[in-house]
Chain A
Amino acid sequence: MNKAARFVLSVFLLLPALLFCRGCSSGASMSPAPGETRLVIFHSNDVHGKIDNFAKVAAILKRERESGADVFYFCAGDNFTGNPIVDRFNPPGEPMLQLLNRLGLDLLAVGNHEFDYGLAVLENFAARARFPLLAANIQAPPGAFPQLRPSVVLEASGGIKIAVFGLIQIEKASGLPSTLPERVKGLTFSEPLQAALEMKTMRPGNHVLIALTHIGYDQDRLLAERMPELDVIIGGHSHTRVDPAEIVNGVLIAQTGSDNRFLGRVELRMRDGRVIEKKGRLIDLRGKLKEDPEVKAMIDRFNRNPALTRVLATAPFDITGKEELGCLMTDAWRRELGLDIAFQNNGGIRLNRLDKKITLKDVYALDPFDNQVVEITMTAAEIRGLVRESFERGDDIDLQVSGITYTVRTDKDQSVKEVLLRGAGGKALPEDRTFTVGFSSFIPSAYRFEHKDPGRSLGISTADVLIHFLERHPDLSVYRDIRRAFVETEGQS
C-alpha cells in the first residue's frame, strides 16, 4: 500500500475514534445503540460520616436502576471520622454500615480512616457488610480480615466482566497509611502504584478494568500515566472535586470531593465487549432533590441517637477557666499518646466552663475544630522559641501546657527577656536532649517558630483523645486553680 492510501485509510479508521473522544468527558448523556450496553457506576469517597444526603443518593440510584441500565455503586474509602453521630454510635460506624448496605453498595476501597476505630471494629464492619472491601496493597496474616480482597470481578448484563482492584495510600516515611500505627498492627502494606502494576494481569479476560483508589488525585494521575490498561480510576483521599471527570492517558479519573456533598456518576458505553465511550460528572447533592423516604427515616433515627448526651466522666466540681481546661486537654493528649509535653493555645479552648457531668457534646463544644494531634521532636531551645512566639502574639500567656511549667520574664513594656522551662520536680529542662511534644494541628501551622523536625500528624483528633482520656475516669479533682504558665514582669512582685 502506498503512502497516500495508508493516510486515507488511517483517517478513515481514526475518524470514529476522534468523534467518540469529543464526547468523552462532556456532560451529554449517552444513549446506547442497538447491540451496545450502558454501564453506570455511581461513586462516593471521603464521606466521613456525613450521612444526611444518603436519602438523595438512594433516590438517584433507584431511578437509574429502574431505567434498565447496569448500575453499580462504589465507594473509594474514608467513611468514618467527621460526624459524632456515626463515630460515637455503638458500635462505631454502625450508621454508615446500615446505610451502605441499604443503598446496595457494591464495593468499598479501604481508606486510611477505615482504621480509625481499630482493626477489630473494621473486621466486624466487614463481616456484616454486604459488599467486599478492596485493597491490593494490604496483606493480612492468614486467617485475619477474611473479607479483605485485592480485587473482584463483577458481572453486568450480556456477560460483561468488570474487574476492580483497590489501593490505599501509604506514607513514604512510615510505609503505613495515615493513621495510628497500632490500629494497623499485623497488616503489611506495599507501595500502591507497584501493587497496581501487578494487577495488569486482570486486563485479559475482563472487558473493563477499574482501579478504586484511596491514594489522592496526584497519585491517580500518575497511575493513569503508568497504566493505560485501565479504563477508569475512581479515587479518594485528597478530597478533590473532579467535575467533569478527566481523561489522562486514555484513563478516565473521577473523584467527588468530600463529605457527601456530591455523588459521582461514571457512564461507560460498551460494544463488542469493549469500552467505546466513557465520561463522568458530579451530581450536586446540596440542593433540593428527591429523597428516598425509607432511607430518610433511617437517617432521622440515627440523628436522634442520644449518644451525644452520654456522660463520659464526672468531676467533683465544674471545671472553669482556660488554664484548667487547657491543662485537662493537654494532660489527655500527653498521657494517652505517651508524649513528653503537650501544648494547647487558648483560642482552641472554646468553652470557659465544663459542667461536672462531662458529656460527648461538651467535649465537641470545648474542642470543635476537628484538629489533629501533631507530634514534633524538639529541643528545650526550640520550645522556648515557641513559648516566646506565643506570648508575643498577644503580650500574654497563650499556651496551656502539660509535662512542664514555664515562666515568661518580661520588662516593664512586656518585651520578653527570658523564657524558663521547668520539668519534673521544678528542675530546669535539660538542654542536651530532645522531647516529644504534642500540639493541636493549629499551632504548628499558625505559629511561626523554629523546629528542625517538621513533625507528623498522629492521625487522631484532639477531641477524640480527650474522650478516650475521660472514659478512663481520671482524677479530675486536680483541675481547680491549676497554673503551669506564669509571667514575671520586671519591677512587679
Chain B
Amino acid sequence: MQVKVNEKSVEIFSGARVKDVVRKYSRTAWKQVRGKKYSVFDRYGHEVALDGELSGGEGLFVRSVEPEKRQR
C-alpha cells in the first residue's frame, strides 16, 4: 500500500503501522521520533501513536512540534 509521509509516497506492506512507515520513509526521521524530538501527525494535525494501524492513501507528517491543523 502507499502512504504519504511529509508529502512523499512510501510503498509499504499492507497492515503496516505508523512506526513501520516512518522507518521506511527516513532513518533520520525515525531516529528523531524514537528520541522523542519529533512526533507524527496525521494530515489534520492530530498526533498519532507509533503503533497506530494504517490504511493505504493515508498521509502522515513527521514534525518537531504540533503544527497548525491542516484542512484537506
Closest B residue to A242 by beta carbon equals: B46
Task: Please state if A454 and B1 are interface contacts (CB–CB under 8 Å).
Answer: yes
Tell whether A320 is near chain B: CB-to-CB under 8 Å: no
**Which B51-66 residues have a C-beta within 8 angstroms of A?**
51-58
Tell whether A57 is near chain B: CB-to-CB under 8 Å: no
Task: Please state if A459 and B55 are interface contacts (CB–CB under 8 Å).
Answer: no
Q: Which of A46, A240, A442, A455 contacts B14 (CB 8 A)?
A: A455
Q: How far is the CA of A158 from the CA of B16 in the complex (A)?
A: 46
Task: Please state if A239 and B55 are interface contacts (CB–CB under 8 Å).
Answer: no
Tell whether A106 is near chain B: CB-to-CB under 8 Å: no
**If A445-B24, A454-B14, A456-B13 touch, does A240 touch B53 (CB 8 Å cutoff)?**
no
**A residues near B53, Cβ cutoff 8 Å:** 112, 169, 178, 216, 237-239
Q: Which of A46, A376, A445 contacts B21 (CB 8 A)?
A: A445
Q: Which of A169, A217, A259, A370 contacts B44 (CB 8 A)?
A: A217
Task: Please state if B46 and A454 are interface contacts (CB–CB under 8 Å).
Answer: no
Closest B residue to A375 by beta carbon equals: B13
Task: Please state if B15 and A457 are interface contacts (CB–CB under 8 Å).
Answer: yes
> Min CB distance, B35 to chain A, in Å?
16
**A residues near B57, Cβ cutoff 8 Å:** 218
Q: How far is the CA of A237 from the CA of B48 in the complex (A)?
A: 11
Task: Please state if B12 and A171 are interface contacts (CB–CB under 8 Å).
Answer: no
Q: Which of A178, A239, A242, A454 contacts B52 (CB 8 A)?
A: A239
What is the interface size of chain A, counting residues whose CB is below 8 A from a CB of the partner?
40
Tell whether A172 is near chain B: CB-to-CB under 8 Å: yes
**A residues near B1, Cβ cutoff 8 Å:** 454
**Which B33-47 residues have a C-beta within 8 angstroms of A?**
42, 44, 46-47
**If A217-B44, A218-B42, A446-B24 touch, does A454 touch B12 (CB 8 Å cutoff)?**
yes
**A residues near B16, Cβ cutoff 8 Å:** 441, 445, 457
How many A-B residue pairs have C-beta atoms within 8 angstroms? Tell me.
104
> Min CB distance, B19 to chain A, in Å?
8
Task: Please state if B15 and A446 are interface contacts (CB–CB under 8 Å).
Answer: no
**If A259-B49, A445-B24, A446-B24 touch, does A456 touch B15 (CB 8 Å cutoff)?**
yes
Task: Please state if B12 and A445 are interface contacts (CB–CB under 8 Å).
Answer: yes
Task: Please state if A441 and B20 are interface contacts (CB–CB under 8 Å).
Answer: yes
Tell whether B70 is near chain A: CB-to-CB under 8 Å: no
Q: Which of A178, A238, A441, A458 contacts B48 (CB 8 A)?
A: A238
> Min CB distance, B20 to chain A, in Å?
4
Q: Mark A352-382, 1 if CB is under 8 A from B, else 0.
A: 0000000000000000001010101000000
Closest A residue to B1 by beta carbon equals: A454
Q: How far is the CA of A259 from the CA of B49 in the complex (A)?
A: 9
Q: How far is the CA of A258 from the CA of B54 in the complex (A)?
A: 14
**If A370-B51, A445-B21 touch, does A172 touch B56 (CB 8 Å cutoff)?**
yes
**If A216-B53, A370-B51 touch, does A173 touch B46 (CB 8 Å cutoff)?**
no
Interface-centre pick from B16, B21, B27, B57 (highest chain A CB count, 10 A): B16
Q: Which of B13, B42, B44 contacts A457 (CB 8 A)?
A: B13
Tell whether A444 is near chain B: CB-to-CB under 8 Å: yes
**B residues near A446, Cβ cutoff 8 Å:** 23-24, 27, 30
Q: How far is the CA of A43 from the CA of B53 in the complex (A)?
A: 19
Task: Please state if B51 and A457 are interface contacts (CB–CB under 8 Å).
Answer: no
> Min CB distance, A40 to chain B, in Å?
23
Task: Please state if B15 and A240 are interface contacts (CB–CB under 8 Å).
Answer: no
Task: Please state if B20 and A239 are interface contacts (CB–CB under 8 Å).
Answer: no
**B residues near A345, Cβ cutoff 8 Å:** none
Q: How far is the CA of A65 from the CA of B34 in the complex (A)?
A: 40
Q: How far is the CA of A246 from the CA of B44 in the complex (A)?
A: 10
Q: How far is the CA of A246 from the CA of B52 in the complex (A)?
A: 19
Task: Please state if B46 and A217 are interface contacts (CB–CB under 8 Å).
Answer: yes
Closest A residue to B50 by beta carbon equals: A239
**A residues near B44, Cβ cutoff 8 Å:** 217, 221, 246
**B residues near A280, Cβ cutoff 8 Å:** none
Tell whether A219 is near chain B: CB-to-CB under 8 Å: yes
Interface-centre pick from A219, A445, A456 (highest chain B CB count, 10 A): A445
Task: Please state if A445 and B20 are interface contacts (CB–CB under 8 Å).
Answer: yes
**B residues near A246, Cβ cutoff 8 Å:** 44
**Which B1-31 residues have a C-beta within 8 angstroms of A?**
1, 11-21, 23-24, 27, 30
Task: Please state if A456 and B14 are interface contacts (CB–CB under 8 Å).
Answer: yes
Task: Please state if B13 and A240 are interface contacts (CB–CB under 8 Å).
Answer: no
Q: A residues near B, CB below 8 A? A: 46, 48, 82, 112, 169, 171-173, 178, 216-219, 221, 237-243, 246, 257-259, 370, 372, 374, 376, 441-442, 444-446, 454-459
Q: What are 13 inter-chain pairs, A to B, with CB distance below 8 A? A: A169-B55, A173-B14, A178-B53, A217-B42, A238-B53, A238-B58, A240-B52, A370-B51, A444-B24, A445-B19, A445-B23, A455-B14, A458-B15
The 9 lowest CB-CB distance pairs between A and B, nearest first, are: A457-B15, A239-B52, A455-B13, A239-B49, A445-B20, A445-B23, A445-B24, A258-B49, A456-B14
